[in-house]
């Protein structure tokens, strides 16, 4: 068994923030990656982050500056780096960031709202680990009116095909003649979980918007726009999952192609009006 501190070469390069795992696999195939001066043979090759010297096009990897991006994902965008069918992805919206970041979880094609992207893999791993109970809040428009008993089922947990859900925090916002509008906060990240929870009540989700993730809020950021997190927001995220600033050794092992060999970090700060 490989040492737990080792990583596959393609994963190491992707976590460096210089490209996706697909990019890394292509670079290895093209002979552009070397390990300790020897051309890498396979993207699945195990490497030691602390002992092995990895270069891409002759440029060594070095310690990275972490980047944290909050995007208001629109409906109709895939949460993936690329799509064989050519459909738009969230990466089309953050090209100004200037370096590769991974998404912290996913929002499905028909869901909009707050999406976090970062190259801080230690933080991302913990935020996606259900053991840390990171809360995620959504606004839901249901296809029917939901009664109090149905909302209570969400609060106590509903049975899904992959097991019962944890209790959710639920608030009724308003009812129209045909629909109910609710706010729900969950501490899990199962595939299409909120949609399946509403379906378990005999209704369907007509609109789903994530408004909060842990201490982060979408605020008045304009749909399709992004901003960089403020220092206090990063600190709050790391506190949420038990990571102290500058103290977590795993976070310090992030690697990156030197600044001169990649685009400069860019993007505008500021928030704009929220559109639903």
83 as an active site residue: the answer is no
How far apart are alpha carbons 147 and 203 in whole angstroms? 11
Instruction: Using pLDDT thresholds of 50, 70 and 90, give the confidence band for residue 30.
Output: very high
pLDDT of residue 249: 41
Q: What is the pLDDT of residues 36-69, one digit of tens each?
A: 999 998 989 898 877 888 988 888 876 568 899 9
Among residues 140, 153, 108, the alpha carbon closest in space to that of 206 is found at: 140
Contact in structure between 197 and 208 (CB atoms under 8 Å): no
Higher pLDDT, 276 or 1: 1
- Number of Cβ within 10 Å of residue 222's Cβ equals 14
The DSSP 8-state label assigned to residue 133 in this structure reads: -
pLDDT of residue 245: 67
Instruction: Please classify residue 76 by burial: count the beta carbons closer than 10 Å to its beta carbon, then call 0-12 exposed, 13-18 middle and 19+ buried.
Output: exposed
Average pLDDT taken over every residue of the chain: 85
pLDDT of residue 222: 97
Beta bridge partners of 199: none
Instruction: Using pLDDT thresholds of 50, 70 and 90, give the confidence band for residue 6.
Output: confident
Q: Whole-model pTM?
A: 0.77
User: Could you tell me where the DSSP H helices lie in 66-133?
Assistant: 121-128
All domains in the chain, ordered by first residue? 7-60 (3.10.290.10), 68-130+215-261 (3.30.70.580), 135-213 (3.30.70.1560)
Q: Which of 83, 92, 108, 152 does the annotation list as catalytic?
A: 108
């Amino acid at each position: 068994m490989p040492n737990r501190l080792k990583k596959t070469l393609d994963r190491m390069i992707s976590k460096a923030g210089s490209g996706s795992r697909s990019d890394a696999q292509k670079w290895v195939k093209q002979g552009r990656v070397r390990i300790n001066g020897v051309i890498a043979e396979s993207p699945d090759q195990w490497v030691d982050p602390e002992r092995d010297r990895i270069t891409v096009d002759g440029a060594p990897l070095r310690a990275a500056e972490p980047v944290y991006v909050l995007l208001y994902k629109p409906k109709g965008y895939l949460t993936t780096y690329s799509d064989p069918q050519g459909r738009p992805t969230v990466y089309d919206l953050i090209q100004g960031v200037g370096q590769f970041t991974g998404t912290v979880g996913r929002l499905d094609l028909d869901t909009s709202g707050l999406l976090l992207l970062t190259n801080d893999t230690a933080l991302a791993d913990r935020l996606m680990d259900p053991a840390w109970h990171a809360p995620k809040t959504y606004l839901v428009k249901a296809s029917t009116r939901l009664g109090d008993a149905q909302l209570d089922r969400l609060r106590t947990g509903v049975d899904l095909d992959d097991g019962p859900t944890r209790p959710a925090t639920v608030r009724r916002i308003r009812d129209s003649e045909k629909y109910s509008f609710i706010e729900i906060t969950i501490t899990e990240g199962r595939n299409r979980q909120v949609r399946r929870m509403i379906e378990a009540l005999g209704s369907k989700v007509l609109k789903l918007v994530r408004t909060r993730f842990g201490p982060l809020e979408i605020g008045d950021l304009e749909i399709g726009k992004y901003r960089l997190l403020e220092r206090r927001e990063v600190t709050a995220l790391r506190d949420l999952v038990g990571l102290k600033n500058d103290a977590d050794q795993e976070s310090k092992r992030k690697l990156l192609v030197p600044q001169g060999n990649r685009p400069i970090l860019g993007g505008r700060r500021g928030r704009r009006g929220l559109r639903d």
